[in-house]
Amino acid sequence: MDRFVAFTVGDKSLALRIEDVLGFAREIKWCRLPLAPRGVVGICNWRGRLCPLVDPGVFLDTSGSGGPWICAAQGRAGPLAILVDSVTGIETAEMTRVEQPPLMGIYGDDRLVLDTGEIEKLCGI
Amino acid sequence: MRMDEMLGDYLEEARNTCHGLDSASYRVGKDPAVLKEVMRLFHTLKGSSGFMGFETITSLCHLAEEKVSEMKESPDGFAQFLRVLAGTLAEIMDEIESTGADLPAYRDRVKPLADALSAGDYSGYRETGGFEESPGIRITPEKLDRILTFLGEAEATKNRISRETARLPRDLSRAFHDLELSMDALRDEVMGLRMVDMGRYLRKLGVLVQEIATQLGKEVELVARGSEVQVDKAVADGVMDAMVHLLRNALDHGIEPPQERKNLGKPPVGNITIEITQEGSRVRIAVSDDGAGVDTERLRKKAREIYGGMELDEKALLSLLFTHGFSTRDEAGELSGRGVGLDVVKESTERMGGNVFMETTRGKGTRVVLDLPLTLLVTPLAFVRIGNETFAIPVSSLVRVDWREDVEVVAVGERAFVKRTGGALPLVDGGKAMDGGGAGDMVITLRAGGGEFGLLVDEVLPEGSGVIRPMGRVGGNAFIGAIIGPDGTPILVLDPAFLAKQAGGIG
């Protein structure tokens, strides 16, 4: 069994492995990034470190997120800020692995587990 | 020679002497000629200190010269004593550089040294050896600056590589990421070495305030808040002159004599408050007094004499006080009133990327606020607005700024050029380049990639500075990095080389 932080983006139920999550914030300072790769909304200030602000909805066939939550997660290239609509909570479940970037697996009925490394790859980070 | 030049020469010589004493201390007990050398060093410093009127140092050097001349051999502990003495003198020199005065507090500071000299007993300074007593390593600000310069160069190289990590093999890319994290940590640590508490500076100013108050026959209580705020030593040192000017002004122009204050229904003891606060990457130093305030009517009259009938609002009027040579006083006071002082405050504040403003109420007091960056380890930046967004550009690339209506823009096919004497420069539409739109009311000329080109922007904002942080590959080639703005929002720093390419083949 693994522990996950569950949240929603658009009509999708998503999650991150708890060990990948750095924290949540409701208000964060950020700016738009012109000429940004697909999925990258801007650059934000996560506790003094600059990191890309991404909308995972772009890769998940959903309307995308307008926030208002930011979930900071540990990526391979550094912190990654993910736009999130609502935070569901912490869940413990058995994940079934899937090979479908940016997903690493699925648990429950429809909870999709994001792989931060794959998000980075898709965003060209 | 001017007084400040004489002081500069004195300090240079005095610091050399301190260095010489420190260096000689390591030969004490080994080289019989060293005592003569030490005696000569004290003699030299005594002479120049006497000339400058720095009595505390003169007396100490006189005593030391006399005692060393009597020595046949080095007493136990004398080598370490010399090192402590040299260090103490060097610290006092730093303070004299800031205050320009030989403060009474120095007498207390050198008293244990003078006592040891008088008694000929240096046993208290004896080195005990062993790791527990191991002294810390001293590093001069100049050496630290050199380290930071190299670190900056290494960071620039790292930033260039970070744009190409996609081309690196996976294991090298991972190793490079580790290197990035280490360099970030190293930069933060080294930058931290330059940060100092404002407390020690406030203590010095406290002594100075009481000295000046006594000189002027005034009574004042100094309240200092924010001594725990840490700022770059270069900022703290740089702001000291401004602070001294502001305090002299407050005491000379602001705080009334005790009897006058009583007549006005005020407590006989005046109040001066120094308040230091940190706001994001800025530090605010406010000096306020409960004195007479600025006579704005007199100021207005003086402004009319100089500028004719032009009517100025209060903000503009007060800003005149920061103009070189402007004074409302007909006669100069001993400490201030010569029209110099506030212009120096403004100049030194702006030189550090800060600004200054004043608020005053007649009869109630004056408040002067210095708004400064926390650190000078930053790149001077120009800020522009393109559409609704603010971008930064290194000032080193900025050549000139024009209103669009003042330059001739010609279109050749799909490209635009700004006409200049003897040719035309390619023009980049900032709105299009940044995918943001905008009216493009101003043209800034930038230099990059071995050529110049124009960039159409909506507004040129006041210059500033910031620590440029890398953004990795996500920034592509368009941005050098980003800074964290005063309110915490990231501001992207445009890469002039990228814009030069947009201009059409430059660079």
Q: Measuring CA to CA, which residue among B348, B447, B440, B430 is closest to residue B395? A: B447
Domain range enclosing B147? 141-194
Residue B38, domain member (yes or no): yes
Query: How remote is the C-alpha of B191 from its chain's centroid?
Result: 15
Q: Are residues B68 and B93 in the same domain?
A: yes
Q: Are residues B224 and B286 in the same domain?
A: yes
- Domain total of chain A: 1
For the cut 60, the answer to whether the pLDDT of residue B340 exceeds it is: no
Distance, in angstroms, between B427 CA and closest chain A CA? 19
For the cut 80, the answer to whether the pLDDT of residue B267 exceeds it is: yes
Which CATH number goes with the domain that contains A47?
2.40.50.180
Provide the number of CB pairs (under 8 Å) joining chain A to chain B.
71
For the cut 60, the answer to whether the pLDDT of residue B336 exceeds it is: no
Q: Are residues B43 and B163 in the same domain?
A: no
Work out the pLDDT band at B129, boundaries 50, 70, 90. Answer: very low
Closest partner residue to A43 (CB to CB) among B180, B435, B490 is B490
pTM over cut 0.90? no
* Final residue of a structural domain among B357, B373, B389: B373
Helices (H) and strands (E) in chain A, counts: 1, 12
The Cα B14–Cα B58 span in angstroms is 12
* Final residue of a structural domain among B323, B346, B373: B373
Q: Measuring CA to CA, which residue among B134, B138, B176 is closest to residue B157? A: B176
Work out the pLDDT band at A111, boundaries 50, 70, 90. Answer: very high
For the cut 60, the answer to whether the pLDDT of residue A17 exceeds it is: yes
The Cα B428–Cα B445 span in angstroms is 10
Query: Are A124 and B478 within 8 A, CB to CB?
Result: no
Q: Are residues B69 and B43 in the same domain?
A: yes
Residue B76, domain member (yes or no): yes
What pLDDT score does B287 carry?
94
Length of chain B: 507
Residue B87, domain member (yes or no): yes
Q: Are residues B168 and B39 in the same domain?
A: no
Q: Are residues B158 and B13 in the same domain?
A: no
Query: Are A44 and B490 within 8 A, CB to CB?
Result: yes
List, for residues B475-506, the tens digit of each pLDDT value. 788 888 888 877 778 999 998 888 888 887 54
Q: Compute CA distances B280 → B12, B466, B488, whole Å.
A: 36, 12, 7
Q: Compute CA distances A12 → A94, B346, B448, whole Å.
A: 19, 57, 47
Residue B400, domain member (yes or no): yes
Q: B351 near B358, Cβ under 8 Å?
A: no
Q: Are residues B244 and B385 in the same domain?
A: no
Distance, in angstroms, between A65 CA and closest chain B CA? 20
For the cut 60, the answer to whether the pLDDT of residue A84 exceeds it is: yes
Looking at residue B459, the DSSP 8-state letter turns out to be E
Q: Are residues B335 and B207 in the same domain?
A: yes
Q: Compute CA distances B437 → A4, A41, B402, B413, B489, whole Å.
A: 42, 17, 19, 20, 21
- Domain total of chain B: 4
Could you identify the residue written with the tokens 């996609």?
B166
Q: Are residues B116 and B151 in the same domain?
A: no
What pLDDT score does B193 carry?
80
Q: Are residues B101 and B147 in the same domain?
A: no
Output the six-digit token pair for B319. Answer: 């800003």
Q: What are the helix (H) ranges across B223-361? A: 233-249, 258-263, 296-307, 314-320, 342-351
Residue B337, domain member (yes or no): yes
Residue B131, domain member (yes or no): no
What pLDDT score does B60 carry?
93
Lowest mean pLDDT among A55-64, B148-157, B200-209, B382-391: B148-157
Mean pLDDT score of chain B, rounded to an integer? Answer: 81
Which CATH number goes with the domain that contains B222?
3.30.565.10
List, for residues B428-474, the tens digit of each pLDDT value. 999 999 987 777 899 999 987 667 899 999 999 987 767 777 677 78
**Which among B182, B474, B477, B501 is the top mutation candidate for probing chain A, defined by the most A β-carbons within 10 Å of its own β-carbon?**
B474
For the cut 60, the answer to whether the pLDDT of residue B1 exceeds it is: no
Domain range enclosing A76? 2-123
For the cut 70, the answer to whether the pLDDT of residue B74 exceeds it is: yes
Q: Are residues B397 and B489 in the same domain?
A: yes
The Cα B459–Cα B455 span in angstroms is 11
List, for residues A93-104, the tens digit of each pLDDT value. 999 999 888 999
Note the ipTM here.
0.92
For chain A, first and last CA: distance in Å?
30
Q: What are the helix (H) ranges across B26-169? A: 34-52, 55-70, 78-99, 105-119, 141-162
Q: Are residues B252 and B357 in the same domain?
A: yes
Which CATH number goes with the domain that contains B411?
2.40.50.180
